[in-house]
Amino acid sequence: VTRLEQDFEVGDSLGEGGFGQIIKARRKCDDNEFAIKIIKFKSNLKDIETTRREANVLSELNHNNIVRYYNSWTVTANMPLDEYKKLCSDSEESLSTEVYSLSTKGYISEDNGVEEEENSESDEDSFVVFQPEPEYKKVKYLFIQMELCENNTLRHAIDNDLYKDEIKLSKYFREICEGLSYIHKRNIVHRDLKPENIFLTSEDVIKIGDFGLSKKILPDNNLESVQGNELPCGSLTDVCGTPIYIAPELRYRTSCSIKSDIYSLGVIYFEMCSKSMTKMEKSLVFPITRKYLQGLNFLTSNSKKKFLIRILLHLNDTERPTCDEILKILNSEKSIEEMKEMIQQNRK
């Protein structure tokens, strides 16, 4: 019996992705509900490291607008080689976590070499290197227990005419900026910001989630400097996020800064302020937005919104504002000219 089954009553699936799946689970001891992300990965060091990054980053964060992390643990299971091969040949996407089928077939069991360990201490030694029997392959699962965000995602809100609800729109955007400001101050770049990764709780509070591609960058006091907060963040193939949210500099540079998240935020804000678009419409609008940004007539007539969208989507990342600057602009009654002035002053 795995910890999941021992401590939790497993509920519905909340979502599925390339990594595995997310399930709803009720903790038996106190009836509290959580979302548990189950990530399947191969037992090599590189995969262990990248998979753990999400749990490691999340465990450091404690902010009202970031998905709260509670715990994480790993399980190792033996999978017969033929079944393993079948799983792998079904392409990466369909490698959905077959943890239940494994446990019902008895591949996960104490006498079959189940290994569960807490990794809140992030102790590398806890990953024991197994000598697998020839007919079995070791498969590892990382379980991340986190806050349940039941009220769908920002995508859902955008698709339900968020642009018409001025109050909700500015509340959501403000909360996204607060959460993002918090992680940026800790030198973490999210790198996969999009409406699908921004969740809403039953109290309608924004929670930024899915830290699967997040990266810790070099600490730097001066967040405005270009070189200062850059650190190679892998090749573009690593950034498997939806293309329209990817900052243009990431196409020719292998380094990233918090300003790449600001670009994604600009695309998100644009969507929040606009009528819901189809994929087709988006693929037409966004290349144009980048090229003809200055001349484009946004669907919104509010000039503060236009001003914000323009500077968030600035092609030059150093010109994009920080989250704190965005919050200042949101709170300010100043004219656009005065706000431009304010940002210039801020940077001197």
Residue ranges that bind ligand ATP, judged by CB under 6 A: 14-15, 17-19, 22, 35, 37, 67, 146-149, 153, 192, 196-197, 199, 209-210, 212
| Contact predicate 136/91, CB 8 Å | no
* Interface map 210-229 toward Mg ion (x if CB under 5 A): x-x-----------------
241 binds Mg ion (CB under 5 A): no
Number of C-beta neighbours around residue 86 at 10 A: 11
CB of residue 140 vs Mg ion: minimum separation in angstroms?
A: 18
Q: Amino acid identity of 304?
A: K
Smallest gap, in angstroms, from Cβ of residue 202 to ligand ATP?
Answer: 10
Residue with smaller CB distance to ligand ATP, 67 or 158: 67
Query: To the nearest whole angstrom, how small is the minimum distance from the Cβ of residue 152 to Mg ion?
Result: 13
**Which span (111-119, 209-217, 285-293, 308-316) binds Mg ion, by CB under 5 A?**
209-217
| Shortest Å distance, C-beta 145 to ligand ATP | 10
Q: Minimal distance in Å, beta carbon 35 to ligand ATP?
A: 3
The verdict on 21 binding Mg ion (CB under 5 A) reads: no
Residue whose CB is less far from ligand ATP, 210 or 317: 210
Q: Which is nearer to ligand ATP, 146 or 323 (CB)?
A: 146
Q: Decide which of Mg ion, ligand ATP, none touches 67; Cβ closer than 5 to 8 Å per partner kind.
A: ligand ATP
Give dist(CA 327, CA 67) in Å, integer: 21
Positions touching Mg ion (CB under 5 A) are: 197, 210, 212
